[in-house]
Amino acid sequence: MFRNACAIAREFTRPVILCRKTVSGVCSSSIGSFIVLNNEGWILTAGHIIDQLDKLVAEEKATRDHPTRLAAIKSDSTLSKKDKYDLIKALGKIMPDATERAAANWHFPGAVLTQAKRHGVVDIAVGKLEPFDPSWVTTYPVIKDPQKDFEPGASLCKYGYPFHTVVPSFDDAAGSFTVEGDPLPLFPMEGIFTRGVNYVVPGGPPSPYPLIYLETSSPGLRGQSGGPTFDVHGAIWAIQSQTHHLHLGFNPPIPGGKNGETEHQFLNVGWGVHSTTILGVLAELGVTHTVSAF
C-alpha cells in the first residue's frame, strides 16, 4: 500500500545524528529524523531533538570552561580561604563521562543548522541548513491540507531510522566528528489515524493557530522522532514526536507468577504534530512550503 509513498518520502527524509565524546574519549550518538521542506534548505524535525542538542552543547561548554572558572576562583585575592573552598566544592570536578565534545551531523556534507526555532509548546522545530545545495534533494514534501478529507481511519505510515547504532569517531586535529558506514536504511511503520489530541497549556497565552497532535494506532519508534507521518500519496499528515501508553483497563494474572501478581496491559500509540499546527508554524515563520490539493 505504501510502496510508492515510501519512495516519495525517502527523497526528503534524512537522519540527524547527535554525536558526543566524553572526557575519557568514549564516542557515542543518538539518531533522529528530519524532513527537508524546500530548495532553500529549510527543515522540520522534532523539538526534543533540538533540546537534546542544546543540552549537549551546554555540557560541552561547561566542561571546556571548567579550568578557567577554577583558575579564576583560585586567583581571586578578594576571597577568603573558606570562600574559595566552598566555591571550588560547588564547581565540582570534571568526571570521565562528562561531555567534552558534541555536534549534530545533519547528513549533508558541511551543512549546519541555522535559524533553529523550537516551538515553545508542541514538540516541533524548524531550521535552515547552510550551506545547502538544492540538487541534494530531488523531491520536496507536500503537507496534507487538514481541511480536506482529514478523518480518523485513514491509513498512515511513519518513517525514520530505528534499530541502528552509530559510533562516530572524533578527529582531534580537525576538531570534528566523523560518521562512517553505509547509509542508514529507512524503516516504515504503518497504522491508522485514530484521533486528534488538542494540546492546551493551562494559564498560557492563546495560540494564533490550533496546537494538535495526531494519534496513530501504532507507536513511533526510537529514531523516527522528527520524521514524517504520511498517507498513500506521500503527503505529510504529521511529524512524529512521541509514544504514549494507553492502559487497557484489565490486568490478567501472570502465568506462573506469584499469587495476585498481574500483568500491566496497555496499547502503544504514536503522537505526531498535526498538519494544522505544522502549517501554522510555517506560516508564522514565513517558511516556503507546499500544501496538498486534496
Domain edges within the chain: 3-285
- Mark out the alpha helices in 10-46 (DSSP H runs): none
Query: Per-block average pLDDT, block size 10, for the chain (294 residues)?
Result: 97 98 97 98 98 98 95 93 92 96 96 96 97 97 98 98 95 92 91 95 86 97 97 98 92 77 89 98 98 97
The model's pTM is 0.92
- 183-222 b/e with 16+ CB inside 10 Å = b? ebebbbbebebbebeebeeeeeeebeeebbbbbbbbbbbe
Angle at 276 between CA 275 and CA 279, to 5 degrees: 80
Q: Identify the pLDDT of residue 257.
A: 72
CA distance 29 to 47: 18
Q: Identify the pLDDT of residue 145.
A: 98
Q: How far is CA 146 from CA 11, 197, 213, in A?
A: 23, 14, 12
| Half-sphere CA count of 215, side-chain side, radius 13 A | 14
CA distance 142 to 183: 24
Q: Identify the pLDDT of residue 213.
A: 98
Contacts of 52 (CB under 8 A, 6+ apart): 18, 30
Backbone angles phi, psi at 244, to 5 degrees: -115, 155
- The CATH code that applies to domain 3-285 is 2.40.10.120
Q: Identify the pLDDT of residue 269.
A: 98
C-alpha cell at 106: 545533519
* Residue whose grid cell is 555540557: 59
CA distance 140 to 168: 29
